[in-house]
Amino acid sequence: MTEYKHRPMGLPVPDGRLSRLARLGGMAAGVAGNIAVNGGRQLVSGQRPKMNDLLLTPANAARITSQLAQMRGAAMKMGQLMSMEGGDFIPPELAEILGHLRADAHYMPPAQLKKVLSANWGADFLKRFKRFDVRPIAAASIGQVHRAQTKDGRDVAIKVQYPGVRKSIDSDVSNVASLLRLTGLLPKELDIAPMLAEAKRQLHEEADYQREGDMLDQFGILLADDPRFVVPQLHPDLTTENILGMDYIDGVAIETLTDASQDTRDTVMNALVALVVQELFEFKLMQTDPNFANYRYDPDTGKVVLLDFGATRPFSDGMVERYRQLLRAGLSDDREARRAAMIEIGFFTADTQPKHQNQILDMFAMAMEPVQAGGTFDFAETDLAGRLRMAGMEIAAERDFWHIPPMDTLYVQRKMGGIYLLASRLKARINLSPLIAAAT
């Protein structure tokens, strides 16, 4: 497989609906052309080509990734989610290449950046700053982050939304979904309308930086007395619908802790797992995006820096209670109680074939292994992540069972899956039993 390297650079964000549609159309045409050429070659050589093999070539995957990275916005966000959450549904080669979308995106060139800042702060915005670094310190799907210092001495991080992102969300999501349909990666009988509607709703919320500022402020209050975490302070005078101003807090990427001491890795992961439990059962408010970039570590204080609250989601008392019942059933090892709780939550229905119910119950039993360990569970000494992945792929391969759970359930599973993945990456040792017992 040829290597594809994603190199961030300053590229203007296409902000017109027609220009974004044209890029997606061009990407689709290029992929279709590659499929036709490669399929013809295989037919000439006497082989019977398979659509998935023709579609998921390195050249096609690189083309898709490159175009999504240039477009940014909802189109790129969906590519990121596919790479993170679609591991059970897409080949590892495609997941690996799409994974480059989780790294730094292309960023706006200075002229486009200045236009956005002027539109939100006024043409004389530079008078408010001693220093404003034009090169961003981070760039993602919806916006990029700059470090600056205000005239009154505040060291701040300024998140600037790409132009046109908000108005292109609905069309981007619909167009990417149509492309997925055309590829045959999604079965025709799968009703993805609820998921598409939710994707649009969530992306509109993530694109509202004033809402994110409110969530940032709320988590700052909730965790103000917690010595394990630090949440940047919101700067309302710098915040608009398209710009988010907050404290700049130094730190290192959470993944770099793979080289830290075992004690540091264990401390960090125990804190993050405890926070997920606290978010669900105490706060009833969860930051649901498990992207590793949302966590940083401050070596000087030993605190975990929490970032990006755009995907924060409140949960109802009823939903939280249903999860509490599921955990109780999991701790009791009562399979029938687990089945009833999973039906209540919506993992499957009472009419789902027993074979598929049992497959999902078996996956849940695997996921409960760290909880039932009865002490410290060593994520370095387990193949749990691999077994869960294989089980998910087996379920996904059976086209007679495609079921989309309620959106709240998907968000919780997304966050918990991300935490398990990070624990495996850091090879942490976690004692989950007291955390779960306290929640139930």
Query: What pLDDT, on a 0 to 100 scale, did the predictor assign at position 259?
Result: 92
Q: Is residue 389 part of a domain?
A: yes
pLDDT computed for residue 37 by the predictor: 42
Examine residue 2 and state whether it is found in any structural domain, yes or no: no
- For residue 439, the model assigns a pLDDT of 78
Give yes or no for a contact between 34 and 91, defined as CB atoms under 8 angstroms apart. no
Return mean pLDDT, the chain: 78
Q: Is the pLDDT of residue 81 over 90?
A: no
What's the confidence (pLDDT) of residue 43?
Answer: 39
Residue 207 has phi, psi (to 5 degrees) of -85, -5
Max mean pLDDT among 20-29, 144-153, 321-330, 394-403 falls in 144-153
Whether residue 197 is found in the same domain as residue 343 = no
- Tell whether 173 is covered by a domain: yes
Contacts of 185 (CB under 8 A, 6+ apart): 52, 55, 89, 90
Per the model's pLDDT, the better-predicted residue between 274 and 166 turns out to be 274
Average pLDDT over residues 15-23: 52
pLDDT of residue 44: 38
> Residue 288 falls within a domain, yes or no?
yes
pLDDT for the residue numbered 398: 62
Q: What is the mean pLDDT of residues 374-379?
A: 86
Q: Give domain status of residue 371, yes or no.
A: yes
Q: Is the dihedral of CA 95, 100, 105, 106 positive or negative?
A: negative
Residue 157 tokens read as 């991080």
Give residue 308's pLDDT band: very low, low, confident or very high (50, 70, 90).
very high
Each residue's pLDDT tens digit, 135-193? 999 877 788 999 999 999 999 999 999 888 888 788 777 776 766 666 555 556 666 67
Within 10 A of 108 (CB to CB), how many other CB atoms are there?
A: 23
* pLDDT for the residue 108: 85
Is residue 54 assigned to a domain?
yes
Q: What was the pLDDT predicted at 189? A: 61
297 & 179 share domain? no
Residues 255 and 384 in one domain: yes
pLDDT computed for residue 71 by the predictor:
52
Q: Are residues 192 and 89 in the same domain?
A: yes
Task: Please give the residue that has the higher pLDDT: either 197 or 74.
Answer: 197
Which among 266, 289, 308, 408 is annotated as catalytic? 289
Quick one: pLDDT band at residue 290, thresholds 50, 70, 90? confident
For CA atoms 292, 297, 303, 308, the dihedral sign is negative
206-255 residue pLDDT tens: 899 999 999 999 999 999 999 999 999 999 999 999 999 999 999 999 99
Q: Quick one: 196 and 285 in the same domain?
A: no
Count of structural domains within the chain = 2
* pLDDT for 262: 97
Rounded CA separation 225/218 (Å)? 13
Which of 182, 204, 226 is where one domain is finished? 204
Residues 284 and 372 in one domain: yes
Residue where the block lists tokens 């001495």: 153
More confident position, 410 or 299: 299
Q: Are residues 192 and 264 in the same domain?
A: no
> Do residue 46 and residue 185 come from a single domain?
yes
For residue 10, the 8-state DSSP code is: B
**Confidence band for 58, pLDDT divided at 50, 70 and 90:** low
Q: 107 forms bridges with which residues in the sheet?
A: 10
Domain for residue 156, yes or no? no
Q: Is residue 69 domain-shared with residue 193, that is, in the same domain?
A: yes
Residue where a domain stops, chosen among 176, 204, 232:
204
Task: Tell me whether residue 289 is one of the annotated catalytic residues.
Answer: yes
Residues 293 and 365 in one domain: yes
Contact predicate 55/62, CB 8 Å: no
Let me know whether 299 and 396 are in one domain. Answer: yes
Domain that holds residue 318: 250-440
Determine, yes or no, domain membership for 193.
yes
**The pLDDT value given to residue 26:** 52
Residues 286 and 372 in one domain: yes
Q: Indicate the residue among 204, 231, 262 that finishes a domain.
A: 204
d(CA 168, CA 17): 6
Please say whether the beta carbons of 55 and 91 come within 8 A. no
Average pLDDT (364-371) is: 87
